[in-house]
Amino acid sequence: MSKIALTYDDIQLVPTYSNIASRKNIDLTTQITKRYGLLMPLVASCMDTVCESEMAITMAEMGGVGCLHRFMTIEQQANEVAIVANALQNNTIQNIWNVKANTWQYTQAIPIVAAVGANGDFAERANALVNAGANIILIDVAHGHHENVKQAIALLKKTLPSHVDFIAGNIASAQAAKDLEAWQADGLRVGVGGGSLCTTRLKTGFGVPNVTCLQEIIAVTTLPVMADGGIRTSGDIAKALALGSSCVMLGSLIAGTKEAPGKMIEKSSGLYKRYRGAASLETKMIHQQEQRNVEGESTVIPFKGGAKFVLEGLLDGVRSAFSYGGANTIKEFKPDWVQVTNAGLTEAKPHLL
């Protein structure tokens, strides 16, 4: 089939009648899986320069969640989960999450998400992660529409306790969404080759631009969709939510913050941290994996300070978008959108200077 596929820069949302009196009252609660909710729709990506326990705790304090990456030993990852689980017992975090307890039925517990693969030690790893306190297992596979993922979900559903939900991906087609739902995934991670460091589309020719990818999948699934890869601004987050995503996964936007794993790098031009693709040569070398099938880049990005400040800025932008879209909640946020030309894209950016 050949058809045109669009991505975030190809569209703009159309302002809608609004009676939103204050952006402060906008409710950003949402779901990440069938049974687990979030107070706001941002998820830290399971990359080794984005999310370990420090980032996951900060995300939880903000009402979101961080997915603990799997590029470490089972013991180390289970320990990271345990650190997050212990921190989530504290009153500050409990209070943040209890604020809406009376009205909010989305979640059965504060979500703790950790990633596993779909072969090798994945079953032993998932078991250790759940024992340490994880209640959502994310099956972190570049091509999630795969028999291994089907088998992995089937095995883990049988062996892990029933309170555990599963997010599967990454996928980029309606058929994949239908199949993963049939294979009993509880949430979908959507987007192939659109991440800021991805070279999958160049290397393999595969991948679908994000807007069309989300549209096709959201049209056929009842599961919560997490839009993953290529989100550069709060405007992109708004577009992903407007298309019907439940939440978005962030890599580059929160890499380079204090809470992201990795040392600070001092250069004459300023402070930096490393950000590397999960399938980059650097990641494979550091974690002593076979140095083949490289499908990602690595780089340094400017140090951004605390993640809370970055996240607050993004959420301010999203709440502002909801005001333009006349929506009080994520479910209500369904503005119309138009496709734009290159001239429209130029106009959308500051163009006087």
- Catalytic positions, please? 198
CB of 104 to ligand XMP, least distance (A): 27
337-339 and 65-68 as β-strands: parallel, antiparallel, unpaired? unpaired
> What is the C-alpha to C-alpha distance for residues 282 and 213, in angstroms, rounded to an integer?
29
Q: Which of 195, 209, 244, 325 binds ligand XMP (CB under 6 A)?
A: 195
Q: DSSP of 243-300, one letter per residue?
A: TT-SEEEESTTTTTBTTSSS--EEETTEEEEEEE-TTBHHHHHHTT--S-S--B-EEE
Nearest approach in angstroms of CB 203 to ligand XMP is 8
Q: Name residue 30's beta-bridge partners.
A: 38
47 sits near ligand XMP (criterion: CB under 6 A): yes
- Residue 221 vs 252, nearer CB to ligand XMP: 252
228 is a site residue for ligand XMP (CB under 6 A): yes
Among 278, 310, 327, 330, binds ligand XMP (CB under 6 A): 278
Q: Does 260 bind ligand XMP (CB under 6 A)?
A: no
230 binds ligand XMP (CB under 6 A): yes
Candidate residues 144, 235, 251, 256; the one interacting with ligand XMP per rule CB under 6 A:
251
List the structure tokens of 17.
């009648």
Q: Does 257 bind ligand XMP (CB under 6 A)?
A: no
Q: Which residue is nearest to ligand XMP (CB)?
A: 296
277 belongs to the binding site for ligand XMP (CB under 6 A): yes
Site residues (CB under 6 A) for ligand XMP, limited to 291-320: 295-296
Residue with Cβ nearer ligand XMP (198 or 242): 198
Q: Choose the binding region for ligand XMP from 31-39, 55-63, 127-135, 247-255 (rule: CB under 6 A).
A: 247-255
How far apart are CB 320 and ligand XMP at their closest, in Å?
21
Cβ atoms of residues 156 and 130 within 8 Å: no
Q: Pick the closer one to ligand XMP by CB: 81 or 231.
A: 231
Structure tokens at 163: 């309170």
Kindly state the smallest distance separating residue 189's Cβ from ligand XMP, in Å. Answer: 7
Residue 40 has which token pair?
């706001």
Which two three-digit tokens encode residue 263?
């040392």
If binding is defined by CB under 6 A, does position 64 make contact with ligand XMP?
Answer: no
The CB-of-44 to ligand XMP minimum distance in angstroms stands at 9
Task: List the one residue out of 321, 325, 328, 320 whose CA is nearest residue 336.
Answer: 325
Residue 279 engages ligand XMP in binding (rule: CB under 6 A): yes
# of chain residues touching ligand XMP (CB under 6 A)? 23
For ligand XMP, give the closer residue by CB, 29 or 210: 210
Under rule CB under 6 A, residue 197 binds ligand XMP: yes
Region of 191 on the Ramachandran plot (φ > 0 left; ψ -120 to 50 alpha; else beta)? left
- From the CB of 195, what's the least distance to ligand XMP, in Å? 2
Q: Give the whole-angstrom CA distance, residue 139 versus residue 153.
A: 8
Helices (H) and strands (E) counted in the chain, each on its own, are: 12, 15
* Sheet architecture: strand order including 298-302: 265-267, 270-276, 298-302
Is 208 one of the binding residues for ligand XMP (CB under 6 A)? no
**Is 41 a binder of ligand XMP (CB under 6 A)?**
no
> Can you tell me the distance from the alpha carbon of 46 to that of 134, in angstroms, rounded to the nearest whole number?
14
d(CA 97, CA 341): 43
Nearest to 12 by CA among 332, 321, 353: 321
CA–CA gap between residue 2 and residue 343 (Å, rounded) = 25
Binding of ligand XMP by 53 (CB under 6 A): no
How distant is the alpha carbon of residue 327 from its chain centre? 22
Contact residues for ligand XMP, defined by CB under 6 A: 45, 47, 170, 193, 195-198, 200, 228-231, 249-252, 277-280, 295-296
